[in-house]
A and B are shown apart, each in its own frame.
Chain A
Amino acid sequence: MRYGDFTPFDIVLLLQGLGVSLALFVSTTLIGLVIGTAWAVIRFYRVPVLMQAVTFVAELLKNSPVLVQLFLVFFGLPAFLKINVTPTEAALITLSGNSAAFIYVIAVSAIESVGRDQIEAARVFGLTRWQILRRVIAPQATAFAIGPLTGLLVNQLQVTSLISVIGVMDLTKVGNILNLRTLKPFLVWTAVGLLYYLTAKLVTYAGARFEKRLRAHTAWKGL
């Protein structure tokens, strides 16, 4: 194939790449939310051993480059455990774990932001730890966490671009291919950057909307 001009099909290619990036972003965010929140609950209950394990794993994930984690999963798992992972699986595992670690941090501080005095009141009236978590802590912690969470997700969206290096056909990988074919880097990367930018804006907007709704619902202006 000769170096050539853009074809209408390239738009489809770009949108496909965007779709892959978005699908990975959304699924790893959801998995990360479930795992990160579960870790925070383990910490809330002070489950022995598990709690230390969670802290240790989260520390590892937070303090090492995502790219290194990705290589470890993609090349390391087959080599050491004889498990074959496809690039998509490797991306899914790595990004989910990474999101979980950071969501865990946000969830822990959100839980801790709820005043001790209210929790003591709830205990005195005989609510169980689980009831306190659900009725008293969770609603306030969620409102508290939305802001930091939106910031994190905007960042995690950009991080998904790393998976292009192991061959996942995401938006960045498509950009790479188009660039090599057309040799018009400025145009290609502007288009790719713009798509990331618009998606990030959408995430921020959704976060702000959600936060506003939560606060309107509770009409809670803090103390």
Chain B
Amino acid sequence: MISITGLRKSFGAATVLNGIDLEIRQGEVVSVLGSSGSGKSTLIRCINGLEKIDAGKITVDGFDVSKPRELSEARKRSGTVFQLFNLYPHMTAVQNVALAPIEVLKVPRKQAEAEARELLHSVGLTERADAYPSQLSGGQRQRVGICRALAMKPSYLLLDEVTSALDPEMTSEVLSILAALAKTGTTMVFVTHEIEFARSISSRIAFLDKGQLIADLPTEEFFSATGMALPRVAQFLSKMRKD
């Protein structure tokens, strides 16, 4: 379980997350929605320990991310997929995927690379396994990014707008992989602007507004009268649907 209580985060004078409480249990797919600047990326970066939190507590399977000794355990349990892929440009797809298993989990290189190839095969990249990121399309890069996270066999996947740098065709190719993952019971925290897709795969929707979690509802409730009763949610959904 990922457990967030009383989370606060500011950058200088600007408070970006202002008292967040959120729990994500094994097997859930929680989509995080909210307008630009509401703090979604910051929330993900607090969970994976890239940002120091100012107050509150985040634990991943009981490991406190603000304690250096526990952070590495917490990180072993969650895998992040980045908006801009963040691949290592000097390594092939296979090497990108196998690096962390080799270095962190001490898996023998041969085995790690064989597993990486299998993962790449499962997302349709069998032929491109030995290509460098610069030789791949955006959609292919993001599929490598997803494999890289899966290679650590994480309990939780953290995804921050993983399709927003992709064109519609590539977006659907990545989303179908995520849908398949959701079906197999992979736990996900999914930050997105793809409202309809979020609706189709999530068990819950968390809605952030100016650093506060103003809704945390089962998916269908969020999109029904209960969600619409919240002015900010109604406003957001009508605006997103118009776009």
Contacts and interface: CB of A to CB of B under 8 A. Distances in A.
Interface residues of B, number: 25
A118 B86 CA distance: 5
B152 interface: yes
Contacts of A122: 88, 99-100
Interface string B11-44: 0000000000000000000000000000000000
A220 B104 contact: no
Main secondary structure of the interface of A (DSSP, over half): helix
A117 B86 contact: yes
A131 B148 CA distance: 17
A139 B86 CA distance: 16
A121 B132 contact: no
Nearest to B152: A125
A218 interface: yes
A89 interface: no
Contacts of B149: 125
A2 interface: no
Interface residues of A, number: 22
A220 B132 contact: yes
Contacts of A220: 89-90, 132, 134
Interface of B: 48-50, 72, 75-76, 79-80, 82, 84, 86-90, 99-100, 103-104, 132-134, 148-149, 152
The 10 closest A-B pairs by CB, nearest first: A125-B100, A121-B86, A117-B86, A126-B104, A126-B75, A218-B90, A220-B90, A124-B80, A131-B103, A124-B48
Interface of A: 117-118, 120-127, 131, 135-136, 139-140, 143, 218-223
